[in-house]
Structure 1
Amino acid sequence: MEYKDTLLMPKTEFPMRGNLPNREPELQTKWEEMNIYEKVQERTKGRPLFILHDGPPYANGDIHMGHALNKVLKDFIVRYKSMSGFNAPYVPGWDTHGLPIETALTKSGKVKRKEMSVAAFRKLCEEYALKQIDRQREQFKRIGVRGDWENPYITLDKSYEAQQIKVFGEMAKKGFIYKGKKPVYWSPSSESALAEAEIEYQDKRSPSIYVAFPVKDGKGVLAGDEQIVIWTTTPWTIPANLGISVHPDLEYSIVKVNDKKLIVASGLLETLVKDLEWDGYEVTGTLKGAQMENIIAKHPIYDRESLVMCGEHVTLDAGTGCVHTAPGHGEDDFIVGQKYGLDVLCPVDDKGVMTEEAPGFEGLFYDEANKPITEKLQEVGALLKLTFMTHSYPHDWRTKKPVIFRATAQWFASIKDFRNELLQAIEEVEWIPTWGETRLHNMVRDRGDWCISRQRAWGVPIPVFYGENNEAIITDETINHISSLFREHGSNIWFEWDTKDLLPEGFKSEYSPNGEFTREMDIMDVWFDSGSSHQAVLVERDELQRPADLYLEGSDQYRGWFNSSLSTGVAVSGKSPYKGILSHGFALDGEGRKMSKSIGNVVVPNDVMKQLGADILRLWVASVDYQADVRVSDKILKQVSEVYRKIRNTFRFLLGNLHDFDPKVNAIKKEDLSELDLYMLVKLNDVVKKAKDSYDLYQFSSVYHAVHNFCTIDLSSFYMDIAKDTLYIDHADSEARRGIQTVMYEILVALTKLVSPILSHTADEVWPFIPGSEGESVQLTDMPEVVNFENVDELKAKWDKFMSVRDEVLKALETARNEKTIGKSLTASVRLYPNEETKQLLDSVGNLHKLLIVSHAEVADDKNNAPANAQEFDQVSIVVEKAEGETCERCWIVTPKVGENKEHPTLCPDCATTVTNHYS
């Protein structure tokens, strides 16, 4: 007889190698064929809704690691919720309007923008956006993200645009929309106004100048021979100067320097003496800023006046305490200028070129005008000092070029009119991490009115008509009509049809007695587009609801989508459109640097999936502390791959040892299981509870560590190692073997479900191999339940204690192995000399040699009587010796009893009995 044929070795067709790049697409094809998204929704129909509302990525180019991080995190949550008692529909979306698509088309060289109509150009933009969506959709699906991919929301959809018009109309109805001329961020490179969310800060080298403005009329407070000193880093705004601002409560000094009398803030005098290199000076008098109000200075270049005004915005942080004020080029300047009745002078055009309102400098690009303006100030004796400084300066986040403040006629959403409601709504939202609340609160608290108009072609038009007197017309009738037209025809008609055809039939207005109307040609800020999604998606679609339970995006969206959604949501409904905000950090390289093509440190999701597979990418997302910035590199992904291999091997081992197990036939009742088997179910219970609690808290790295530790420590290094002898050597239906299989089955089912949100492909690959598994996919099941056990604390305490003793024995065996006393552990015999508490434990566990995987184990005496050659540990002293006897041919145990059975002389008694009774 070949004794090896009597061993019940593992058998499974579940492959050892994941081969994920090839196997995952096969699984995804299967998901599509079975309509997995629809089946999940059908199964969970009627359960409480959980809505994670997708913040729309921009439809341009391949997805990057930030996209992958974001979408995978969302997929974890949606998959978990659908397995945890919720109906969790997931509708992905795309942001499709805006400058990048316009730029991509014009830069291609195939589109001659100036030779076509706006409507024709917009159609090309739409075609381009839809192609980008198809491209990105396939990449998101390749990552394994489950959603309603056939019915996403797209900001260029007719229904979406129709709802966006409704949002605008409701805000206008409540008085939150107005048109005004005021300074806004203006991008000469984009030739358009920008919102705060479209600004990023980069270092810029700028001239730093001190300029003296002669006093023309001292109003009886000054003698008239003084000069007020200002400081600026934007010499190009000097032609726009109409005033000087001082703080009413600050003290100012009249400083005699050579033959000049200069006025500066007393608090900055010491610094200015150094900066302006005054060898000698004398303070001849002081006065409060309030005393200088309405004093008139003379513009240093032009023959016009510059009014001294009091402004609370003036500080002693830098400069002179006397602030150069150009109402057309700064928000504070504009506000104080309005208070004092100044004009809004803006001698710079859309392209950033100086106009005729800046005599002597017209035709110059604003940045190029710095030098001639400074030279002119030098020529007239007004320039006190010129240096250069590098400072943080606002840039257009699309073109990466500097922006300016420039007063133009724009449409605004008046944040100040409902700021308190916004701040109240923020308090009612759950913020993860908690600092998000403070961050958005401060942004809203300090935010100016939102400039929502853009001077571009590709976007949703601002639905405003003008009468013959140029008064804006926004009524319920016009808004409802335009919304209906857009729902039927799309917004392109705004640029195709005549104005009269866009108005309601028979529309009349007191603003246009002759029935002549024009329309606004500016479009809405793209943040208004995406910020309207709570109405255009959550309210529009029957399967969703407002407010959403969760918005999940990168931390940059506090100033972007979180902010714009809150503004439009509170304006329209009086409440936040989201109950919770969860934000994540940015994906950096392995050294913590921003990814850059020029550096060559970019990790591309598509490349990772081709080389390693989507589940490795997903497992990486689960492994990181995503609420901070995260690192990813080939080395990091290799480490994650090793963890994946261990988890996969665990699945394979469990499947292999269940090849002859039918849970309906062979399962052992819980009350009949051994203590060790029960202990492992308790340990599994702990993992289930830890994982589910962590999923609920969106702490995916805790799930990752709980599963990984359970697989490597509790299973691989302990239970599976101990169980091998029983599984392989006992006869098929032995109660001990079936007991272990029962536990392994429970572990396998629970682990497959627990990792399904993270390792979505692997879990679905495992599922059909599980004996008795029901349903086409693990996705169509619920998470395992936490089970109640009797005397669980005593059981855990006992076997946790045994585990610690076992660790000491393993150390002793390793030492003996290194000293060549033994080879494998089954060649060893151990004598244990425990302390009293440990002795009671060891006496109670039974089958000690099997638990320690040695051929012989005995509790010899107490610790105090251990021989000199014993290895000393905290709980037990241990003597390791080579086991006496022969090696059993079947189970490899070493015992003197080999050969007692004459029919099977090479077997130990236990193996001889098993073979005789079950294989003869």
Structure 2
Amino acid sequence: MSDTTTQPEKRSYKKTLNLPKTAFPMKANLVQNEAASQKRWDKLGLYQKLRDQAPKDKPFVFHDGPPYANGDIHLGHLLNKCLKDFVVRSKTMLGYDTPYTPGWDCHGLPIEHKVMQDLGDAAKTMEPIKIRRKCQSYAEKFVKTQSKQMQRLLTMADYDDPYLTMAPKYEAGVLGVFAGLVEKGVVYRDLKPVHWSIDNQTALAEAELEYYDREDTSVFVKFDCVGKKDQSLMIWTTTPWTLPANLAVAVHERYEYGLYQAGDRKVVLATELATKVLALGGIDSAEPLETFPGRDLLGVEYTHPFIDRVGKVFHAEYVTLEDGTGLVHTAPGHGAEDYQTGLREGLDVYCPVLPDGTYDDTVPEWLVGKSIWKANDEVVEHLRGSGHLFHDQKFMHSYPHDWRGKKPVIFRATEQWFVGVDKPVNADAEQSEASGTSMRDAALAQTASDVDFLPDWGRNRMRGMLESRPDWCISRQRSWGLPIPAFFKADGSPLLNPDSVRAVAKVFAEKGSDAWFYMEPADLLVHYDEDGLDKSTLTKGKDTFDVWFESGSSWNAVLREGWRDKQSGDAYPADLYLEGSDQHRGWFQHSLLPALAVTGQSPFKTVLTHGFMVDKNGRKYSKSQGDTIDDLMKNHGADVLRWWVSGQNTDNDIKVDESFFKLAGEEYRKVRNTLRFLLSNLDGFDPANAHAFTEADAASLDAWAMGELGKLIQTVRAAYEGFAYRKATEAIFNFCNDTLSAVYLTAVKDRLYCDAADSPRRLRSQTACFKLAEALCQMLAPVLPHTADEAWRALPGKGDDDCVHLQLLPEASDASSVMADPRWAQAMAERDVWLKAMEDFRQTNDVDNPLDLGLIVSGDWSAFASEDLADLCGVSRFSSGSDRTSVEDLSNEPRCERSWKRDGTVKERSDGGQLSDRDAAALGLS
């Protein structure tokens, strides 16, 4: 038998370490847990609690632009609603009273169009009131759907009492604005051409148009001059279907024109365009028979090519030499500029096109009843057959389409209600700043300097659109909308004045606008009296308001009237409007104009604009394309999506790809894991017994961390104050990733794990970790509301009834009561040099573990504890005072079996283990 030697049992000190422990899990399970957080906040009555505790002397008025109540929310909503929620939450935590009433735009064509489609043939015989009730149900359904989806994005608002543009008190607020405009003398009714949707048989505003490429036919047509059998005026048009409405030809009196031989006829053209035009007809020579200024053509008469009608030549400044012939076919019933020429020259506003896009019986018999689009080819062929067609060709051009139906629109003269943007505002405005000037001039003056634009390019964009906009056509020919409260007398004249409008508003406030469809004029005007007026002879107008007028009146309906008690302080004007860049011509502009006329004030102090979400090809995401966010929510959770939004440069359009959200998820997990490390090292920590920092701690790593936290708080507060969310979250992420994970937490990990649980040094670091975690939760709360609150409740001393959203953002002074030693800045800069020397040594000497190394550095670093500097660099020993920095290999020295350090104090202890002095003391061993 051979002798056996008993080997000592290898000791494990794992159970003696202060190992991390927290209820805050590594895996977020956001999809499930966020929903639970939402329920908890609802049960807590969080929104109302915030209203109750908010300081009433520090209001921030933030007004919501209403999304349209149809379809599910999409990527555009994700951007818009998250940004708005960042405002609400951050301003609240900055100490402002920030109530937020969400809204929905409920009337209008898209909903009615969908309802009519669903009803099919039954809609043709259905009374308007029944169609309206179907539309109302449809809108209510999607208000409920979108409200749930927005709350699933963890947005915080008064969802129990939102504003709906179809609500009676909202409708009354809109009529209040309208009455004010009537009172100021800027509302009028006129027969003039407007954008007309054939598909939906209604007028459209500029803001309801989108431009798409379309193929059309352009024609060069000879109009025979009266009294000159062999001479013709050569016109060019891209809309042959408007030729039946031709009443004149426009030229520019200062351009040069010439007479040219074109086959058996002589034609008049602008000399600058003659070569190009004649070549289209195969004519190589463009030598004029004679030339003359355009003023010589004024008054020349011509015969219409297929209608027994004589027209005349007039001057127009808008005639250019960019395209065409220099002679412009003019149909006052089918063009804005044509209309102005006709108005100046006394021409009829003739429009032979019916609402459905077919010709009436005033055109030649071969066109009567035909669709204008189909008639295009017939007009061309008729001109070819009569010898009046010089040339025709197909071409592609950008053409206006209905923004909802995506069908081409036309200019068509109809009687409509308008708001005159250039009419002087009467001098009895509530606040007379805008009095005597037009709305356009007042708006340009306000946007020049009185309104802040973020980003600043929004100012020029808004002003450019104000400068070029026409009068506002506010009437629509729909059932589902707010009726324009105009009555007509037996002689056809309208009854519309401030008092009659306000009288109807009182009825609508009580019964809703459905009353217009079932009540008699006398009942609608029960609050209105006028000497000699027989109400029984009145008839009701059939027009409804442009939905932009409705949503553009929200400053009055919400902030000043129907929801005034839900606002903060002096709720008008709003401190902030925030929407996409398309709203410079939409909601921003249509809010500004009536507000200036009625109150003399802009409804907003600041306009914050964001770009659109676009795919990799630059295509805008929208609900009409089916771009909902269901899959993104299921795959990532709201907090990750919100984190992604916060990191975008929202000044311009934002490209979206699934991979971007995966990257955002990785960043989120980094922040979450940083929070988890902090929380996990607070097991057993009692905030009531936290370390009190004094001047004696200034040279500690913990004081340095508190100083860096103070800087972060200053940066984040300033970023939130200025709506710079990207700057805030970048600063937080870099702090978590670099300052904490790469430096501070790596450095203090050893003492948190290995120091005695109640050691002063460990308590100081735990206190720092507590302050760091607490402040991070508060600063993250506006962007990551679920995660921040989940982490907040995992802090020692917090319970299920605690909520981070009831807190304010930390102040820089909260981070520490003592200034960190300023020499830390130099130490951190030198650390990079020291780490580089260590890395070079490890590569050369094949050393894997930096705890097998020691550092000897140049300079005097005696102000700091050598253990702190050793931990800062991840080595076992640190000393200074050498002439140069060098690295020493400690791998031959004994290593502590508990902390793995080789600090020169390791020796066998009373339990037989190899421990450093610090570790032995922690275990009470000698």
TM range (shorter): over 0.9
1:840 is matched with which residue? 860
**Which one of 417, 429, 442 corresponds to residue 464 of structure 2?**
442
Asked if 2 retains the 8 angstrom alpha-carbon contact of 1:603 and 1:632, the reply is no
Q: 2:674 aligns with which of 629, 641, 650?
A: 650
Any conservation in 2 of the 1:253–1:265 contact (CA below 8 Å)? yes
Q: Residues of 1 paired with 2:504 and 2:762: CA distance? A: 74
Structure 1 residues 713-765: Cα deviation after superposition (integer angstroms, max 9, x where no partner): 00001000000111111122322212212222221111111110000111111
Deviation at 1:592, TM superposition (A): 4.2
2:611 maps to 1:571:
no
1:622 equivalent to 2:646? Answer yes
- 1:50 is aligned to 2:60: yes
Bigger Cα displacement from structure 2, 756-765 vs 161-170: 161-170
Q: Which residue of 2 aligns with 1:871?
A: none
In structure 2, give the amino acid aligned to 1:300: P
Name the counterpart of 2:660: 636
Q: Distance in 2 between matches of 1:27 and 1:597?
A: 28
* Superimposed CA distance per residue, residues 71-95 of structure 1 (whole angstroms, 9 cap, x where no aligned partner): 1100001111111121000000000
Q: Is the 8 A contact 1:569 1:576 kept in 2?
A: yes
1:910 corresponds, among 899, 918, 921, to 918
Unaligned runs of 5+ in 2: 1-10, 424-437
Specify the alignment match of 2:259 in structure 1.
254
User: Separation in 1 of the partners of 2:232 and 2:546?
Assistant: 44
Query: Given residue 661 of structure 2, which amino acid in structure 1 is its aligned partner?
Result: L
Measured against aligned partners, the alpha-carbon deviations of 1:653-703 in whole angstroms (never above 9, x if no partner) come to: 111111222222122224232422222112111111111111122111111
State the shift of 1:598 in Å. 11
SS of corresponding position for 1:209: strand
Among all aligned residue pairs of Structure 1 and Structure 2, give the percentage whose two residues are the same amino acid: 40
Counterpart selection for 2:445 from 424, 434, 437: 424
C-alpha distance after superposition, 1:478-506 (max 9, x if no partner)? 22221110011110010112223222368
Aligned counterpart, 1:364: 370
Q: Is contact 1:50-1:87 (8 Å) kept?
A: yes
CA contact (8 A) 2:682 2:766 kept: yes
1:424-460 CA distance string (max 9 Å, x none): 1222111111111111111111111111111110000
On the 8 A contact 2:246/2:330 being kept in 1, the answer is yes
After superposition, the C-alpha distances for 1:885-912 in whole angstroms (9 at most, x for unaligned) are 1221111112554325455541122222
Query: Which residue in 2 is equivalent to 1:338?
Result: 343
The alignment status of 1:809 with 2:829, answered yes or no, reads: no
Q: Distance in 2 between matches of 1:737 and 1:912?
A: 16
The correspondence for 1:735, drawn from 735, 756, 760, is 760
Question: Which one is further off, 892-901 or 469-478?
Answer: 892-901
Q: Of 130, 136, 150, which aligns to 1:140?
A: 150
Which of 704, 709, 725 is 1:679 aligned to? 704
CA separation of 1:349/1:911 partners in 2, compared to 1, >3 Å: closer, same or farther? same
Deviations 1:463-486 (A, max 9, x none): 011111111111233222211100
> Could you tell me how far apart the structure 1 residues matched to 2:295 and 2:441 are?
32
Deviations 1:21-60 (A, max 9, x none): 0111111101111110000011104132111110000000
Separation (CA, whole Å) in 1 of partners of 2:197 and 2:641? 38
Q: After the TM superposition, which of the residue ranges 411-420 and 151-160 deviates more from structure 2?
A: 411-420
SS at match of 1:460: coil
SS in 2 for 1:732: coil
**After the TM superposition, which of the residue ranges 880-889 and 157-166 deviates more from structure 2?**
880-889
Distance change (3 Å), C-alpha of 1:747 and 1:274: farther
The reply to whether residue 414 of structure 1 matches residue 420 of structure 2 is yes
Q: Which runs of 5+ in 1 are unaligned?
A: 218-222, 864-875
Distance 2:350 2:748 in 1: 85
Shift of 1:788: 9.3
Aligned partners of 1:593 and 1:812: how far apart in 2? 51
- Choose which of 298, 306, 309 in structure 1 pairs with 2:311: 306
Q: Which residue of 2 aligns with 1:61?
A: 71
The alignment partner of 2:782 has SS state of coil
Deviation at 1:827, TM superposition (A): 2.1
Question: Distance in 1 between the 2:263 and 2:120 partners?
Answer: 65
Contact 1:425 1:570 in 2 (8 A): no
Code of the residue aligned with 1:379 in structure 2: it is: G
Aligned residue number for residue 589 of structure 1: 615
1:549 to 557, 572, 575: 575
Which residue of structure 1 aligns with residue 809 of structure 2?
783
* Alpha-carbon distance, 1:854 to partner: 1.2
Post-superposition Cα deviations, 1:781-835, rounded to whole Å, max 9, x if no partner, equal 1111122999999945x32332233233334444555556212211223444x4x
The answer to whether the 8 Å contact 2:576/2:605 transfers is yes
* Residue aligning to 2:781: 756
Change (3 A) 1:71 1:597: closer
Note if contact 2:693-2:817 (Cα within 8 Å) is conserved in structure 1. Answer: no
- In the TM superposition, what whole-angstrom CA distance separates every residue of 1:114-148 from its partner, at most 9, and x where no partner exists? 23211111111111111111111110111001010
Runs of 4+ in 1 over 6 A off after TM superposition: 596-599, 788-794
**Cα offsets for 1:370-410 (capped at 9, x unmatched):** 11101111112111111111000000011101000000011
Does residue 463 of the first structure (1) align with residue 485 of the second (2)?
A: yes
The answer to whether 1:200 aligns with 2:224 is no
What does 1:504-515 correspond to in 2, within 5 Å?
A: 504=526, 507-508=529-530, 515=536
Shift of 1:879: 3.6
Q: Which residue of 2 aligns with 1:517?
A: 538
**How far 1:768 moved relative to its partner?**
1.6
Equivalent residue number for residue 722 of structure 2: 697
Within the alignment, does 1:403 sit opposite 2:409 as a pair?
yes
1:153 is matched with which residue? 163
Contact 2:706 2:815 in 1 (8 A): no
- Provide the C-alpha distance between the structure 1 equivalents of 2:819 and 2:290, rounded to a whole number of angstroms: 83
Partner residue, 1:220: none
Give the residue type in structure 2 aligned to 1:654.
L
Q: C-alpha distance in 2, partners of 1:362/1:509?
A: 47
Q: How does 1:468-547 map to 2 (within 5 A)?
A: 468-504=490-526, 507-508=529-530, 515-540=536-561, 541-544=564-567, 545-547=571-573
Paired residue for 1:884? 892
Pair 1:862-2:883 in alignment: yes
Q: Aligned pairs, how many? A: 891
How far, CA to CA, are the matches of 1:425 and 1:827 in structure 2?
Answer: 69
Partner SS state of residue 74, structure 1: helix
Kindly indicate whether the alpha-carbon contact (under 8 Å) linking 1:622 and 1:704 is maintained by their aligned counterparts in 2: yes
TM-score (norm 2): 0.92
Distance 1:514 1:36 in 2: 52
Match of 1:179 in 2: 189
Provide Cα deviations, 1:312-348, integer angstroms capped at 9, x if missing partner. 1111221111111000000000000111111111111
* 2:186 is the counterpart of 1:163: no
2-side partners of 1:340 and 1:110: how far apart?
A: 46
Aligned to 1:722: 747
User: What is the RMSD computed on CA atoms of the aligned residues?
Assistant: 2.3
1:25–1:515 CA distance, 2 compared to 1 (3 A): closer
- Equivalent position to 2:398, from 389, 392, 396: 392
Equivalent in the alignment of 1:215: 225
SS at match of 1:182: strand
Q: Which amino acid aligns with 1:53?
A: H
SS in 2 for 1:894: coil
In structure 1, C-alpha distance between the alignment counterparts of 2:819 and 2:334, rounded to whole Å: 71
725-734 or 108-117, larger mean C-alpha shift = 108-117
SS of the residue 2:212 aligns to = strand
Give the structure 1 partner of residue 432 of structure 2. Answer: none
The structure-2 alpha-carbon separation of the partners of 1:896 and 1:446, relative to structure 1 and needing over 3 Å to count, comes to closer
Question: Which residue number in structure 2 is paired with residue 107 of structure 1?
Answer: 117
3-state secondary structure, aligned to 2:812: coil
In 1: Cα distance, 2:718 partner to 2:416 partner:
49
Give the whole-Å Cα distance in 1 for the aligned partners of 2:38 and 2:829. Answer: 44
